[in-house]
Amino acid sequence: MADTDLPQLYLVTPPKVELSSFPDQLARALDAVEIACLRLELATRDEDEIARAADACREVAHARDIAIVIADHVLMVERLGLDGVHFTDGARQVRKTRADLGGDAIVGAFCGTSRHDGMTAGEQGADYVSFGPVGESNLGDGSVAERDLFAWWSEMIEVPVVAEGGLTAALVADLAPVTDFFSLRDEIWSAENPVATLERLAAARG
């Protein structure tokens, strides 16, 4: 049984997935460590490519009772049988999307380092707010989301908060007391052994 006091893990796909190999790799990762949610976030805008990847990833995630959301493509959520959407551009679409998808859908928003954007997203019905990068990463505009932001948020705001971008074992250990989720992507998929890296970062939570 997972320690409920520890932040949960939230896995993001690589920007490009090879359907011949990635579903198996994803399955191994999901079986190795308890994962709360999976996000499909591809670099391509090709809807057929996105749909094929979504079908493959949904099958792996739902077989393990893990929710899967898609980055930005809100119109694909219901069509592809996904559980919700993650907006990479902050709060501006949250209110309408919550109304369109209903209360059961997951709606999240990446808000960079902006406390104001995060509060707006929460007020408009986001299930979680994501800040980052917390380390060296090409996420956002490069401004680092400091520990103080997470500490303040965790103390003052009830909406769950996600730390993402440039995570290391040291950062995971440092941020574990002040965040609800860690979102992992390049940290895992660019490693020589993704599963071992995932297990190491998971263990760093405490």
State the CATH number of the domain containing residue 72.
Answer: 3.20.20.70
Distance CA 54, CA 50 (A): 6
In a domain, 48, yes or no: yes
pLDDT tens sequence across 30-42: 999 999 999 999 9
Distance CA 40, CA 57 (A): 8
Half-sphere exposure of residue 194, counting CA atoms within 13 Å on the CB side?
A: 20
**DSSP code string of the chain:** ---TTSPEEEEE--SS--TTTHHHHHHHHHHHS--SEEEE--S---HHHHHHHHHHHHHHHHTTT-EEEEES-TTHHHHTT--EEEETTTTTTHHHHHHHH-TTSEEEEE-TT-HHHHHHHHHTT-SEEEE--SSS-SSTTS----HHHHHHHHHH--S-EEEESS--HHHHHHHGGG-SEEEESHHHHTSSSHHHHHHHHHHTT-
Q: How far apart are CA 197 and CA 187, in angstroms?
A: 8
**159 has a pLDDT exceeding 50:** yes
- Look at residue 1 and tell me whether its pLDDT is greater than 50: no
- 171 found inside a domain: yes
Distance of CA 7 to the CA centre of its chain: 13
pLDDT at 139: 87
Assessment of whether the complete model's pTM goes beyond 0.85:
yes
Band (pLDDT 50/70/90 cuts) for residue 130 is very high
Segment 177-201 shows an average pLDDT of 97
Q: What is the mean pLDDT of residues 159-166?
A: 98
Percentage of the chain beyond pLDDT 90 is 95
Instruction: Answer yes or no: is pLDDT of 183 > 80.
Output: yes
As a whole number, the mean pLDDT across the chain is 96
Q: Is the pLDDT of residue 138 over 50?
A: yes
Given pLDDT bands bounded at 50, 70 and 90, which one contains residue 187?
very high
User: What is the structure's pLDDT at 141?
Assistant: 84
Query: Is 173 inside any structural domain?
Result: yes
**Number of structural domains the chain divides into:** 1
Q: Could you read off the pLDDT of 26-75 as tens digits, one per residue?
A: 999 999 999 999 999 999 999 999 999 999 999 999 999 999 999 999 99
Identify whether 1 is part of a domain. Answer: no
Tell whether the model's pLDDT for residue 4 goes beyond 90: no
Name the residue type at position 73: H
5 vs 10, higher pLDDT:
10
Taking each helix axis as running N to C, give the angle between helix 194-203 and helix 22-32, from 0 to 180 degrees, rounded to the nearest 10: 30
Q: In terms of residue numbers, what domain contains 108? A: 8-203
- The reply to whether 3 falls in a domain is no
Find where tokens 């971008």 sit: 165
> Does the residue 143 lie in any domain?
yes
Position 147 pLDDT exceeds 80: yes
Domain-embedded: residue 2: no
**Cβ neighbours for 68, distance < 8 A, ≥ 6 positions apart:** 37, 38, 39, 40, 54, 57, 58, 61, 62, 82, 83
CB 133 within 8 A of CB 145: yes
Query: Which residue type does 15 have?
Result: P
Residue 202 banded pLDDT, cuts 50, 70, 90: very high
